[in-house]
Chains A and B, each alone.
Chain A
Amino acid sequence: MSMSTGESGGVTSDINVTPMIDVLLVLLIIFMIVQALKRAAVDIQIPAPEKIASTSAQSAQIVLELRDDGSYVINGQAATPKDQLDRKFHEIYDQRPAKLLFVKPGRNRVYADVIEAIDIARGAGVEVVGFTPAETPN
Chain B
Amino acid sequence: MTAEINVTPMIDVMLVLLIIFMIVTPVLESGFQAQMPAGLNVDQRPEGDDEITLGLDVNGAYFLNGDPVSKEQAEAKLTELYAARTLDKIIFFKADGGLKFGVIEEAVTMASRAGARVLVSITDRKGGLMAEEK
A interface residues (Cβ-Cβ under 8 A, vs B): 7-8, 17-18, 21-22, 24-25, 28-29, 31-32, 34-49, 66, 105-112, 114-116, 118-120, 122-123, 131, 134
Contact = CB atoms under 8 A, between A and B. Distances in A.
A33 to B, nearest CB: 10
Interface stretch (B10-18, B24-32, B63-71): B10-18
Contacts of B99: 110-111
23 contacts: A25-B12, A31-B129, A32-B23, A35-B129, A36-B46, A37-B47, A39-B44, A41-B42, A41-B45, A41-B92, A42-B42, A45-B118, A46-B112, A106-B101, A108-B101, A110-B97, A111-B96, A111-B97, A111-B100, A112-B97, A119-B39, A123-B41, A131-B105
B1 A115 contact: no
Nearest to B128: A38
B102 to A, nearest CB: 3
A46 B42 contact: no
A40 B42 CA distance: 6
B41 to A, nearest CB: 4
Interface in B44-85: 44-47
A131 B102 contact: no
